[in-house]
């Protein structure tokens, strides 16, 4: 691993290795073993074109626990937000710091930052992909179910960056995935095709449809995300109407297996994509999932920056 730009860049073994490492870091941290020697003296620059609660706090706390330091860089703080080229930003930051985490709009910007810089780059989210989130999701699923291969994950809702990355993450780890989205809100074709190609070697089943009931039937894991991602507020009313039958409520959730778990990358909007009785119910692991962002990102940073 030189960077974490997209899960498709990682092998199945690398993904499982990161989850194993995160499990180890989590267990040891909870048992009083400190890891502040791993990245002692290292500095992570965190570029935010999109705001976030979990991404900022988990990376900043993670660097602290590993002995390093994190710099928060918003669009208002650096020249990248005022017209400096990615080429110049990448080369300049490479002279100052040891790694970059960027949360932004364009996947191309993240890839250019990695291409022109000489330090590791971590994709904290783009409109196209959310690899750190899905690594934490897979960690949470394995924590709960004891395995990944052969499980069925149902994703209900918008075919967005999380859904794109889930397709790749599930395919690479042998998880069967059924994605149900309204017509016109499909996952990006290149991610569907990439997942199908990977699945031909790992044995995963990739199912894409517009039928939430068929997708969720007999699922071990049920996953949804907000219907209105950042930057889509102008389409709010149309999206609420288009996604109305894709709400994960108790009736739809009952079609999954009796021991199915519920995941959501957060922030969640109760009464829209999910009802309170599901997200706040006993089978919801959304806060374990949020916590695991910290541990999986520590594993990523330690692997890339040590």
Helix axes 107-116, 86-96, angle to 10 degrees: 50
Active site residue 225: yes
Active site residue 130: yes
Distances (CA, A) of 96 to 25, 230, 250, 300: 28, 31, 51, 20
Sheet of 69-74, strand order: 69-74, 43-48, 99-103, 121-125
Beta bridge partners of 178: 154, 207
Residues 6+ positions from 81 with CB-CB distance below 8 Å: 49, 74, 75
> Which one is catalytic: 103, 142, 239, 264?
103
Active site residue 54: no
Closest CA to 139 of 241, 18, 220: 18
> Which one is catalytic: 133, 137, 142, 295?
133
Active site residue 236: no
> Which one is catalytic: 3, 265, 295, 297?
265
Buried b (16+ CB within 10 A) or exposed e, 163-192: bbbbbbbbbbbbbbbbbbbbeebbbbeebb
Distance CA 306, CA 295 (A): 16
Active site residue 137: no
> Which one is catalytic: 3, 54, 56, 130?
130
> Which one is catalytic: 6, 293, 295, 297?
293
> Which one is catalytic: 225, 264, 295, 297?
225
Distance CA 172, CA 14 (A): 10
Active site residue 293: yes
| Catalytic annotation, residues | 103, 130, 133, 225, 265, 293
């Amino acid at each position: 691993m030189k960077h974490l730009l997209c899960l498709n860049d990682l092998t199945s073994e690398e993904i499982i290795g990161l989850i194993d490492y995160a499990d180890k870091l989590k267990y040891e941290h909870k048992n009083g073993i400190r890891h502040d020697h791993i990245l002692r003296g290292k500095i992570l620059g965190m570029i935010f074109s999109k705001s976030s609660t979990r991404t900022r706090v988990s990376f900043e706390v993670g660097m602290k626990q590993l002995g390093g330091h994190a710099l928060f860089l918003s669009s208002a703080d650096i020249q990248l937000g005022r017209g400096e080229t990615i080429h110049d930003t990448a080369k300049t930051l490479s002279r100052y710091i040891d790694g970059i985490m960027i949360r932004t709009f364009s996947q191309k910007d993240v890839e250019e930052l990695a291409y022109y810089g000489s330090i590791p780059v971590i994709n904290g989210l783009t409109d196209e992909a959310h690899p750190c989130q899905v690594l934490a999701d897979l960690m949470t699923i394995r924590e709960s179910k004891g395995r990944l291969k052969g499980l069925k994950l149902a994703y209900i809702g918008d075919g967005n960056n999380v859904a794109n990355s889930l397709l790749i993450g599930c395919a690479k780890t042998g998880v069967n995935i059924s994605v149900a989205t309204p017509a016109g809100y499909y996952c990006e074709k290149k991610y569907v095709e990439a997942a199908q190609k990977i699945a031909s070697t790992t044995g995963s089943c990739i199912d894409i449809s517009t039928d939430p009931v068929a997708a969720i039937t007999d699922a071990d894991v049920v996953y949804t995300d907000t219907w209105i991602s950042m930057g889509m507020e102008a389409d709010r009313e149309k999206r609420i109407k288009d996604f109305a039958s894709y709400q994960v409520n108790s009736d739809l959730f009952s079609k999954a297996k009796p021991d199915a778990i519920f995941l959501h990358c957060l922030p969640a909007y109760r009464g829209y994509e999910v009802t309170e009785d599901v997200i706040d119910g006993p089978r919801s692991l959304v806060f374990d999932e949020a916590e695991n962002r910290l541990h999986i990102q520590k594993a990523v940073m330690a692997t890339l920056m040590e």
